Structure 1
C-alpha cells in the first residue's frame, strides 16, 4: 500500500507517533489535536474535579492521562493523516478498536461508575466493530452516526436514572465519538480532494 507523499507544509511524523497521528500531519491539524484536545481535557477534568480530588494522586493522574488521550483522540481521528493511516492498515484498525478500554480503567482509578463504564465500553467496541466491517461501503458514515446517536442517548438516559460521576459521563460521550465514529468511519478516502491545498 502506498501512502501519500507529504506536501510542503505537512509534517512527517516520527514512526513512534504513526499510530497517533499517521505518517504525515498538517501543522493546523496537529495544533488542533494537541492544543484543542488538551484544552478539552482540562475542561472535562475541571468539571469532574470532585471525582479526581477524592482519590490518591496516582489514581487521579491515571484518570487525567486517559481523559487527555480520549479528548486528543476524538480530534486526531478526524484528521486526514490519522484517518488515512488506518484506512490503509485494516489490521491496525482492529487492534486500535480492541485496546480501547480507557473508560473501564478510569472508573477503576476513580473507584466509581464501573458498570456504567463497562456498558459504554462494550457498546462502543461492538458498534465500532460493526462500523469498521462496513469499510468502503457508502452506508458506513450513516451507520457510524446511528451508533454514535444511540450511544449518546444511552449515556444521557443512564445519567438521568443512575447518576454517574460527571467526569465519567463526559469522558463516555467523547469516548463514543472517538472510537465509534471518528475512528471507525473513514472520513478521507484516498483520492479525496484536499480543500486546503
Structure 2
C-alpha cells in the first residue's frame, strides 16, 4: 500500500450530503476484483451523460479539478452498500484524502485499508475548506498526517483527529497483508514448533 505522509494538492469541492457508494461507483462496474481501472468510472452518472460524453458542469470534469487529490464533501459520505470498489475508484482516480462532516462506518474503514485518509471535521471547518477549494487549482491544500493538520491555501491551520493505529498503518503503507507479514518470523517459528510437536499433521 502506498504510504501517506504529507499531501499538498488540489481540493475539489463536492457540496453534497449522503453521497452513497452507488454514486461513487455505480453497480454495473462492480464485476471486477481488480483495484485498478475504476477511476475512469468514479461518479460515472454525474460525470457522463447517456452518450458517454463528459458533463462539463461536474466538478471533476472542470479543468481546475481534473488532477484533484483531495475531495471536500458533505455529511454522511460513503453511505449505502458496503462495496469496497468505492474507495478503489477514488484512489484509482488519484484522490488520497476525503474530508467531510461524517462518513458511513464501512466506507470509512475501507478507506484506511486502501491508502486513503478520510477526515471527519465539524461542519464549520468543512465550510472553510469547501470555500478554499472553490478558488480552483491555484488554491492548494496541505494535509499533514504526522502533525494531524490541514493547512488552507492562505495558511489557516485546522487540526484533525485520527486513530493512532490507523495513522501508523497509513504512514508506513501497511495494509492487512503487510501487517501480517510483519509477524512473519513469529509465524514461521510457530509453524516449525507445531511441525516438530505434531509431525503427523
> TM-score when scaled to structure 2?
0.22
| Structure that is richer in strand per residue | 2
- Larger Rg, first or second structure (1 or 2): 2
| Structure that is richer in helix per residue | 1
